[in-house]
Structure 1
Amino acid sequence: MIIADPRLIYADPRDLDTLRNALKDNDPEGKLCPILMDQIYIQKKAIELLPEIISEHTRGKKILMVSDMTPYFRGKDSLKEQIYYLLSQNFDVLWLTLDNHDHVLHAVDEESTRIQEVIRTHQADCVLGIGGGTITDLCKDASHAVDDSIPLIIVQTALSVNAFSDGISIMLKNGVKCSLPTRYPSVLVIDLNVIEQAPMERNLAGYGDVLATWTAPVDWYLSHKLGMNNTYNDPSCDILRTQNSELLEQSARLAAKDQETFELLAKVLTLSGLAMGIAGESSPSSGTEHIITHLLDMAADKQHRDVAFHGAQVSIGTIFTAIAWDILLNEFDPTSVDLEKCFPTEKKMKPMVYESFEWIKKETADECWKGYQKKLENWKSNKENFKKFLRNWDIIKTEIQNVVVSPQHLCEQMRAAGAPTHYSQMTPSIDEKTARWALRNCHLYRNRFTLSDLLFYLGWWNDDFIERLIQRASELDAGL
């Protein structure tokens, strides 16, 4: 058994030099992507460092400050206004506020283009994004489109998602969420005074987002073993598991708003983003549980209703995915597999994709089929790897069992943290019909291969199996 480098398993995102050295020493094949960030601040009163941080990154004076309409506070006053007046003493600050259309700002090309236009017309020397994951994704996408050399500073306003510390933007294309390579922020600023004042529901969403650590890397490993992914690497997983395990065991302290646990959550969330950046894709932190969530978001948009917090949805998707892994690990018999039935034709799958997504809109179904068609072709080309996987199942099974967490323990710790365990507990709640649709059709969504794909090709992932997942979750006081 290979012992992980302590510099990885106890990585501190505030010490990027040590992390970079550890990654270099554990990457003999040169597979890992560089961390293109200058500094990460996780501390109290970090906001007060912004003038100094900006001055270190540009000699220019023109700052574009980007936010949405969501109110954030530091003490009794508006955080955004505090930052604006703090910077206006030394800089020419233009404040761009994006409209929260129907209470929700989406990461779409139109919003990114608007930021790009203002960067150019203001001739911005630095872009400062203040807000959550959507603002961050838009600022990364827009500044990347204009000029990567423009410093990008992100002020994180809640521990809501892991999107702040990677070089990827999750953008909505024809109703489908796509992970696009864009750029890292130059600097990430997490002021713990701001975090402690953020709505607990938002911070619990971040806790829910990192629970995917117990399913997504295993999906990624599965894809690697089947020849469906060549980016899998241990360091991206090593920096997540140990500290996330500590966080999981401190769930009750999170509910009590313990300051040290908030700081640990901030570190783990930031490491989760870095893991995606290191891998060059979101697979270390995004598997079946995230795909279920993307489908729920697509349905919400079609149904003209607000979207529940991303991380909260992810956590319940993680419960269902953990249950699915538990069933596979305990019941799968590779000798019973009918190999020829595991490779469906395009003629069978294309109508299935369109039936699942055309009700949203045809362009969405087109986008999903474009991704799924590639996955299906890749799957067919890896028939020999699938045979090898079946022969080596006992070894692979043991490796997976060493890193998964039981669905029972997940649910217990989520309740201890005060996090929702049912879709009906979301704000807004998610109806059972929509949840069943997302669970049933998640494997048809995109090119990425996950557990749901394997189970579908084995003939397991069907209506009866989904009902079994729902029943198992219900027995844990979780699920719908």
Structure 2
Amino acid sequence: MSTELSGEQDITIDTLDDIRAIARDAPDAAGLNPIGLREVVRGAAAARTLADVLRRLGVPGGSIVAVLTDPVPKSAGPGGGDVVDVVHDALAPRYRPVPVRLHPAGAGIVHADERTVEDAVAGVKAVVPGSLVSVGSGTMADIGKVAAHRLGLVHVVVQTAASVNGFADDQSVLLLNGTKRTTPSRWPEAVVIDSGIVAAAPRAMTGSGLGDQLSMFTAAADWYLGAAAGFDASYSPTVVRVLRQGTTELLGAAEGLRRDDPDAVVALAASLTRGGLAMGLAGRTSPSSGAEHTISHLLDMHAGAHDTAAASHGSQVGVASVVAAAIWHRVRARLTGSRVVVRPLDEEQLRQRVSAAFAPLDEDGATARECWTAYRRKLTWINAHQDRLQRLCDDWGSHDPVAADLLAAPETIAGTLRTAGAASRFGELEPAPEPGTAGWAAANCHLMRDRFTVVDLAEIAGLWTGEDVADVLHGTQRLLQ
């Protein structure tokens, strides 16, 4: 990556010129979005250079900087105090930092739901800032991106953990009508990755980041499948190339992540940044969000509806990636072993199934209606393109090598998580989902949105019965025993 060293503190300022060049010169360049992120600042004590970051972004000295965060303590490393204090001290000589703290509705953590987003926008607007600095993990970055978009502010993300891949893109995952939805927001102008800060984050958050990034080994195959089926033509080999840069280093960092080794955590953070850039280039989360993410979303939605705690997003995604890889293995074996006949889906039966799956999540049925609206679009397309889907299955031999190259074996994903000390099975999540919830999430994950994944292919091929779901889950439970 193109870099510039910032003097005495050996801070690396990456202006992303190499990735911009890859995108500019690619055969599919016309379908890619320009990168709005101007720089990624890395290094020990990188957060202490925030005033220089804002100066390079053209923010006038003396202006108010809204510092958006939540009440969760964020260690700046040994002897470093709290990250929010570090941010304040870094800004104070040149700017006027004003804290804007978000608070959860109850005793839990802040979620990116409608009320919290509105509170964030109102709170930031009230201090009349010239720029916005968000401090925290993925949720705070998502909320900050929405607030910056609505208010037209320069936005700098200070990443406090290598916990998700959504810091460096132009989208936010929000909880709308009780359902996780990816919503366009905007790129931050800069992301600051302070190696001392991210290495000091709780190990569970680092494990969450690893799980989130390992989704590339199943989600990219789902993305390709959508294009091969004719449902979504946005698949880009160039984006996958960006996403997969540094894969060897990521997998090799697993043992170091178990020891909280700063170099390993920084390698993970760099990989997560490329994941965010890939999603931004694609203009969608598809490169890193397939069936494994919908399983995680359903676990979150179930926990929220029952007022119980859920494990972190990325840790759920990591475990669900093992499951998604196992589903892929099962479907590929059937497609290459014998002729598979696709079948039309009964709309009324599916409507009742969606209602039965999601109606218990709220009293007024809003979640079920939201999911049905999205799924029905996909269902209508599936039933209108039976011939095309049958050709996909009949010609699978021409697609399987591509899918195989995009996928990793469930044993590989589970082994990497286990080596890093992260959860590789649902029962190892903290907290673990209630009995039966993981099976419910896996069985119904394709019913919540209109993205075509391997589970949809399994559904129309008659390969996603209750017995199939149970076999996949039991098989993943046996991995690495």
TM-score with structure 2 setting the length: 0.93
**Which residue pairs with 2:110 in the alignment?**
105
Pairs within 5 Å for 1:295-374: 295-333=298-336, 336-339=339-342, 342-361=343-362, 362-374=365-377
1:316-366 CA-partner distances (Å, limit 9, x unpaired): 100111111111222225863334xx2213222111111110000200001
Give yes or no for contact 1:421–1:477 (8 Å, CA) kept in 2. Answer: no
**Range with bigger deviation, 287-296 or 252-261:** 252-261
Provide closer, same or farther for how the CA distance between residues 334 and 458 of structure 1 changes in structure 2, counting only shifts above 3 A.
Answer: farther
Task: Give me the whole-angstrom Cα distance separating, in 1, the residues matched to 2:290 and 2:206.
Answer: 21
Task: Give me the whole-angstrom Cα distance separating, in 2, the residues matched to 1:123 and 1:413.
Answer: 46
SS in 2 for 1:164: coil
Provide closer, same or farther for how the CA distance between residues 29 and 207 of structure 1 changes in structure 2, counting only shifts above 3 A.
Answer: closer
Pairs within 5 Å for 1:56-455: 56-57=56-57, 58-59=59-60, 61-74=63-76, 75-76=78-79, 77-100=81-104, 101-147=106-152, 150-333=153-336, 336-339=339-342, 342-361=343-362, 362-455=365-458
Paired-residue identity, %: 28
Give yes or no for contact 1:13–1:271 (8 Å, CA) kept in 2. Answer: no
C-alpha deviation, 1:207, in angstroms: 0.6
**Which residue pairs with 1:37 in the alignment?**
37
SS in 2 for 1:352: helix
**Which residue pairs with 1:21 in the alignment?**
21
1:10-55 CA-partner distances (Å, limit 9, x unpaired): xx99341221111110044500011101101121110111011112
SS in 2 for 1:42: strand
C-alpha deviation, 1:386, in angstroms: 1.3
Give yes or no for contact 1:13–1:267 (8 Å, CA) kept in 2. Answer: no
**Number of paired residues?**
465
Task: Give me the whole-angstrom Cα distance separating, in 1, the residues matched to 2:29 and 2:159.
Answer: 34
TM-score with structure 1 setting the length: 0.93
Task: Give me the whole-angstrom Cα distance separating, in 2, the residues matched to 1:474 and 1:88.
Answer: 52
Task: Give me the whole-angstrom Cα distance separating, in 2, the residues matched to 1:330 and 1:385.
Answer: 20
SS in 2 for 1:304: coil
C-alpha deviation, 1:211, in angstroms: 0.7
Give yes or no for contact 1:127–1:153 (8 Å, CA) kept in 2. Answer: yes
**Which residue pairs with 1:3 in the alignment?**
none
1:44-90 CA-partner distances (Å, limit 9, x unpaired): 11011101111222115111010001101123311111211332232
Task: Give me the whole-angstrom Cα distance separating, in 2, the residues matched to 1:238 and 1:191.
Answer: 26
- Residue 168 of structure 2 aligns with an amino acid whose one-letter code is S
**Which residue pairs with 2:48 in the alignment?**
48
**Range with bigger deviation, 459-468 or 109-118:** 109-118
**Which residue pairs with 1:469 in the alignment?**
472
**Range with bigger deviation, 69-78 or 324-333:** 324-333
- Residue 345 of structure 2 aligns with an amino acid whose one-letter code is P
Task: Give me the whole-angstrom Cα distance separating, in 2, the residues matched to 1:251 and 1:85.
Answer: 34
CA RMSD, 1 decimal = 1.9
- Residue 369 of structure 1 aligns with an amino acid whose one-letter code is W
**Range with bigger deviation, 251-260 or 133-142:** 251-260
1:105-142 CA-partner distances (Å, limit 9, x unpaired): 11012222222223333221000100011111111112
Task: Give me the whole-angstrom Cα distance separating, in 1, the residues matched to 2:336 and 2:271.
Answer: 36
Task: Give me the whole-angstrom Cα distance separating, in 1, the residues matched to 2:323 and 2:316.
Answer: 11
- Residue 81 of structure 1 aligns with an amino acid whose one-letter code is D
Give yes or no for contact 1:104–1:306 (8 Å, CA) kept in 2. Answer: no
Task: Give me the whole-angstrom Cα distance separating, in 1, the residues matched to 2:149 and 2:402.
Answer: 39
C-alpha deviation, 1:242, in angstroms: 4.5
Task: Give me the whole-angstrom Cα distance separating, in 1, the residues matched to 2:467 and 2:390.
Answer: 26
C-alpha deviation, 1:253, in angstroms: 2.5
